Amino acid sequence: MSEIESRVRIVVVLPEAFAGGLVPVRDSRRTLDALARLGSEASVEPAASLEAAAAEVRNADLLVLDGSPPAAASGALEAARAARVPVVAVVADSGDADAVAWFRLGVADCVAEEGGALEALPAAALEQIRRGRDTRQRRSVERRLAWLENLNTTIVNEIPAALAVLDAERKVVATNPAFGRAFGTGVRGRPLAELLPADLWDSADFGTLLDRVAAGEAPAPTIARGHGSDGRAVAFDVRGQRLDDAGRLLVVLADVTERETLARRITDLQRYNENIIQNLNSALLVVDTEGAVTFANAMAAEILGEPGGVLRGRSVWDWFSTAHVQGGLLARTLAEGSRFRGAETMLARADGRAIPVGISCAPLVDADGTRLGAVAIFQDLTEITLLQRQVLQTEKMASIGQLAAGVAHEINNPMGFIHANLFQMAEYLGDVRRLWTQVGDLRKAAGSSDAPALARASETLEELARELDAEYVLTDFDKAIRESQEGAERIRHIVRDLRDFSRQDRDERVAADVNQCLDSTANIVWSMMKHSVVLRKRYGDLPRIRCNPMQLKQVFMNLLVNAYQAIETRLAGTGERGEIDLVSELRGDRLVIEVSDTGCGIAPEQLDRIFDPFFTTKEVGVGVGLGLSTSFSIVQKHGGTLRARNRSGHGASFELILPLTPSEEVVAGEAG
């Protein structure tokens, strides 16, 4: 079943490693056999001790702790966190307190040994290995992108050529540092003819050259020769380029006095940059102000599904669909000069398939601030998006696990009286059979026209009815049936809510009732909080909207659990009950859902940070700071907003605002 793309190393701490040489509490071969199913690409290495594991985990892809007490594994866990290596713990059973302790210590996953659940260990290990590798790969790409941006800035400032941007009157509007060193500073607004030595101007016939460039021609490079201010003979390679329709020109004067050396350096520099750009693991597009491609690397052609060498001159809107022209990221960069880093959008490949991409856009401007176009760097996020959906499903199931004890209690209560009622109804059924038998005797006597026999049968039936208290039996029988039906209906509702919440997220948008999503989630969480919280609901009349119900339920789950935990923090040990209010209403063309609590509130200095990834105010092991960040991202993808504020007195309030109709970008995403 191995799906590992390259060889990996897994360090395993088995029960023998911490049993002090004694006989381990269970057979460690089961764990090793399960990991062996990952195939030959996985090297599974048992560690001699927890200390040895802490030393060996630096060069590993995964650490597996089998049967180790959580308190004893702190050293190994610290080493794994430092090396950014995921940790999977094997626990005795899914309800074991050790499992909760492991998650609080920050392990990536727990696999139960009971009931054949250990069969899931290879899949859990494979998932954590992939997530760890993806994280490291993303960090590497981000470093490379930052380095590339710094390199481009350095090239512009340090290129050994004098650059001047002229206006329509041939006056200088901008120069680079090399121009100042060659012809002096403080030249802005002065005609170029006054700045260059006369013999240098005449040798290259600068006036004619600039006229041709302004007319849109691209004259061949010209060599200008003359003498510098110190009398030394100089030579410049002169080039011109029209920048825009306003008549701005770019003049480049490269000192070619040492032509051969400089030519080699420029050639090497061009080759160097080309190699970097063409071998990036990201697509790079440069477009002009109209969206026409002026440059594209090989990865851009691959992601767009186009043959190499045919992108130049094409409209970028061939791939970033027309739905993005008015409000898309790249369109906003061209129209407004906005910058985006790591944003997500959709593009349409040449084969018609829409794919998600992570894109960074920046305006391309001249020295005067005029936008000349834009640069876009993007990556295919198809695989990453799939992993994110898998992670979201895992988080939902983890939330279900936290609520399992309360849900089990909610199911056990009705099951208890259903079981008792069934036992009682079985006894009542025996009494009814006795009555029915006597009724049969009465019917026979009535049919025989034997008056004495009929009187005896009637008397016997009457005595039996008094003995059994038939009226009470029938009344209680009916009551037991009704109670059992109510209990079964309660169980059915609980199971339905759990099934809906844990259903696999397919990232599909459908018309859904947001009130129902909120209410079914509240029903699940209620079993956990009902002993210390008063839950009030005030739902407005809301229209159905196109959304992803599973993702919205995850947002509601995170907000409700956070509210409950805030109340527990403030009222712990007091015996008092907190309050949570759920309110939904329609405000114009927006749906507003508010979750308020009477908990400990949010420190003012933390209000602007609570939606940042990995920011948390909880104790170590209680949370890793992803719940609100994930919720914020889900709401953003729905075109909405999520904000928090403190209530007067005690507590906090979270307000979720969703549009009635999806935005243009959301519609474009659905089309893919």
**Residue 497 CA from chain centroid, whole number:** 24
* 458-470 pLDDT per residue, tens: 777 777 777 777 7
Average pLDDT over residues 385-393: 64
Residues 63 and 88: beta-carbon distance below 8 Å: yes
Does residue 4 have a pLDDT over 80?
Answer: no
Bigger pLDDT: 374 vs 628: 374
Does residue 322 have a pLDDT over 70?
Answer: no
CB atoms inside a 10 Å sphere around CB 532: 16
User: For 3-17, 179-193, 210-224, 296-310, which range has the lowest pLDDT when averaged over its residues?
Assistant: 3-17
Does residue 326 have a pLDDT over 60?
Answer: no
At 544 the pLDDT is 93
Q: State the Cα angle at 400 between 399 and 402, rounded to 5°.
A: 65
* 521-572 pLDDT per residue, tens: 888 788 778 888 999 999 999 999 998 888 888 889 889 988 888 898 888 8
Give CA separation, 423 vs 161, 435, 470, in Å.
97, 19, 18
The rounded distance, in Å, linking the Cα atoms of 78 and 67 is 18
Residues 283 and 377: beta-carbon distance below 8 Å: yes
Find the Cα–Cα–Cα–Cα dihedral 143, 149, 153, 158, rounded to 10°. 60
Do β-strands 62-66 and 510-512 pair in parallel, antiparallel, or remain unpaired? unpaired
Domain ranges of the chain: 8-138, 159-271, 281-380, 382-502, 506-671
Does residue 275 have a pLDDT over 90?
Answer: no
Does residue 416 have a pLDDT over 80?
Answer: no
- CATH code at 8-138: 3.40.50.2300
- CATH code at 506-671: 3.30.565.10
At 313 the pLDDT is 85
Does residue 35 have a pLDDT over 90?
Answer: no
At 447 the pLDDT is 73
Residues 86 and 105: beta-carbon distance below 8 Å: no
Considering 17-31, 274-288, 377-391, 497-511, the range whose residues carry the highest mean pLDDT is 274-288
Do β-strands 283-288 and 293-296 pair in parallel, antiparallel, or remain unpaired? antiparallel
Instruction: Report the share of the chain in percent with pLDDT over 70.
Output: 80
At 23 the pLDDT is 44
Give CA separation, 94 vs 84, 501, 621, in Å.
26, 19, 18
Residues 397-417, buried b or exposed e (16+ Cβ, 10 A)?
eebeeebeebbeebbeebeee
* 611-650 pLDDT per residue, tens: 765 445 554 334 434 567 778 888 888 889 998 888 877 8
At 596 the pLDDT is 94
At 308 the pLDDT is 67
Does residue 31 have a pLDDT over 70?
Answer: yes
Q: In the 8-state DSSP scheme, what is residue 650?
A: S
Instruction: Assign 591 a pLDDT band (cuts: 50, 70, 90).
Output: very high
The rounded distance, in Å, linking the Cα atoms of 207 and 198 is 12
Non-local (6+) Cβ contacts of 325 within 8 A are 317, 331
Q: What is the DSSP secondary-structure string of 47-100?
A: -SSHHHHHHHGGG-SEEEEES--GGGGHHHHHHHHHTT--EEEEES-TT-HHHH
Burial class (CB in 10 A: 0-12, 13-18, 19+), 168: exposed
Bigger pLDDT: 275 vs 77: 77
Considering 267-276, 401-410, 527-536, the range whose residues carry the highest mean pLDDT is 527-536
Do β-strands 62-66 and 340-348 pair in parallel, antiparallel, or remain unpaired? unpaired
The rounded distance, in Å, linking the Cα atoms of 502 and 494 is 12
CB atoms inside a 10 Å sphere around CB 352: 8
Bigger pLDDT: 491 vs 188: 188
At 160 the pLDDT is 78
Instruction: Report the share of the chain in percent with pLDDT over 90.
Output: 7
The rounded distance, in Å, linking the Cα atoms of 341 and 360 is 4
Does residue 666 have a pLDDT over 60?
Answer: no
Asked whether this chain's domains 159-271 and 281-380 adopt the same fold, the reply is: yes
At 2 the pLDDT is 52
- SS3 assignment, position 289: coil
Does residue 338 have a pLDDT over 60?
Answer: yes
Class (C level, CATH) for 281-380? alpha beta
Q: Helix/strand/coil (H, E, C) string of 218-230?
A: CCCCEEEEEECCC
pTM of the model: 0.37
At 393 the pLDDT is 58
User: For 232-246, 411-425, 475-489, 522-536, which range has the lowest pLDDT when averaged over its residues?
Assistant: 411-425
Bigger pLDDT: 342 vs 239: 239
Place of tokens 């693991």: 281
Does residue 290 have a pLDDT over 60?
Answer: yes
Does residue 368 have a pLDDT over 70?
Answer: yes
Average pLDDT over residues 419-431: 74
What does the mean pLDDT of the chain come to? 78
Topology of domain 159-271 in CATH is: Beta-Lactamase (3.30.450)
